[in-house]
Every structure is written in structure tokens, then in C-alpha cells.
Amino acid sequence: MARQGNSKDSSNTPWSESELLSSVKVYILLLRLQQEAGEFQSEPTAQALLANKLDLRNDAAIRYRLRNISAVVQEIGGPILSDFSPAESVGKNVRARIREMLEADEDFGKVKATNLGNPSDLAADALSALDGLREYIEGLNEDLAWRGHNQPPEPTGIAFLETSQLAQALADIERLKIEVLKPEPDAKKIEEVRQKLLELAVSAAKWIGERLTKFSDVALATAAPILVAKATGFLPVAIDAIEAVSRLVAK
């Protein structure tokens, strides 16, 4: 990748609180997706999500820091990202800062949690998360419609941003909400639709990781920042909904 030769990077430069927090947040986001989807190649997505936030660090430095996070996660009894084997060589102070960030993160707490709560709360959480995903997708549709009317067509080549895919996702969300509201939801139907939303989220994650090669084409260069922002915003909202539905089905 292009960032590997970044001359600004230095192992002697201490990591700032912001850099560590950004790394922990991305790690947790992809850990949540892995927990739902199973193991997938998460490193390209992690590198892409951190490229702008860690612009003074090269790919090797980012990878090693994520491996440090795996070491701390393992130490406190959490599951780790399969792409990042634990690297124990991390300073005492940095280890303590990473641990504090992990333990303060509500989403990481959910990853580790074993008590799922009562069914009525889980249903309310699922409906709220699904509404959040629906609103985000509706915003995407509006943006794509506006761009289609006001700008020349752009060769995005991004399946999860195609209008037909988004329309299907909205229909799937409504199907899920109908089941969630039933006194006795059909777990099989819920799982079937959850899997479809999960596939969309994994598609978004993979696309984010591949964006550097996809946007080597000059025709896509101007569209890249906007589309990456849309995909990056979509991913956590989708994972929120998928997790909420998973907890409901598991109960």
C-alpha cells in the first residue's frame, strides 16, 4: 500500500491520546463485525479507516499498534480480531491507556457481555437500531438521487450503494420490524433477513478496505472521498442494527 513508505512515521514519536483512541475505536468496530459475520480480512479495512486519523503513521506502525490492542483485549478476556495476533511488546503506560479505553467503551462491553437482558428491552433496542439504519439508508437514497440529477453519472462500482440494493435493504428492515413486533417472532425469518443485512455490512467493510485500488482509476478519484465517507458512516449504523437483532434472536 502507498502509505508503507511514509517518511513522517517514526517509532520514536509517542502516540497521542487521539491516535490511540482512534485505533481502539476502529478495532472495536471491526471486532463487532467479525463477531457477527465470522472471520474476514479486516486489516485492509482497518488501514483504510485509520488512514486519515493516523496520517503520521505508516501501515506497519498501524498494524503493530492493532496487534498491541489484541494483546490487551486478550488480557482482559475479550475476543480478538483474527488479522491481528497479539503483540505483547507494548509499554506499560500505553498498555494501561489502551485498557482504560477498552473498558470505558460501551460497545466493547457489549462484545464481552453474557447477560442479554429481558426480551422487551431487547425488542425495543432492535426496533430503535433498525430505525436508525433505515434513516441512514434513506439519507443515502436522497443523496444518490440528488447527485444523479445535479451531477454527471459516476462509475461507482459499489454494490451496497446501488439504488436497488438500498431499496432491498429498506424492505428487509421493514420485514424485520414486523417480526420483532409479533408476540412470538419467527426466529428463522429474523435470522434470514439478518444475514442479508450482515452481507451488506461485510460488503461495505470490504469495499472500504479496497478503496485505494478501486480509486486508482482517475475517473473515480473525485468521487472517492464522498463515497468513502458514506460507507464509513454506514458501517457502524448497520452493525448496531445487526447486533441488536442478534441479541433478540439469541434470547
- The answer to whether the pTM exceeds 0.85 is no
pLDDT of residue 221: 45
- Count of domains for the chain: 2
Question: 3-state SS string over the chain?
Answer: CHHHHCCCCCCCCCCCHHHHHHHHHHHHHHHHHHHHHCCCCCHHHHHHHHCCCCCCCCHHHHHHHHHHHHHHHHHCCCCCCCCCCCCCCCCHHHHHHHHHHHHHCHHHHHHHCCCCCCHHHHHHHHHHHHHHHHHHHHHHHHHHHHHHHHCCCCCCCCHHHCHHHHHHHHHHHHHHHHHHHCCCCCHHHHHHHHHHHHHHHHHHHHHHHHHHHHCCCHHHHCCHHHHHHHHHHHHHHHHHHHHHHHHHHHC
Q: Residue 101 sits in which domain range?
A: 13-112
pLDDT of residue 142: 79
CATH number at residue 150: 1.20.120
- Quick: pLDDT tens for 228-245: 677 788 999 999 999 999
Please say which residue of 92, 112, 132 terminates a domain: 112
Q: Name residues of the chain where pLDDT drops below 50.
A: 1-7, 115-116, 152-157, 214-222
- Quick: pLDDT tens for 136-168: 999 887 776 655 555 544 444 455 667 788 889
Q: Are residues 101 and 126 in the same domain?
A: no
Q: Are residues 148 and 191 in the same domain?
A: yes
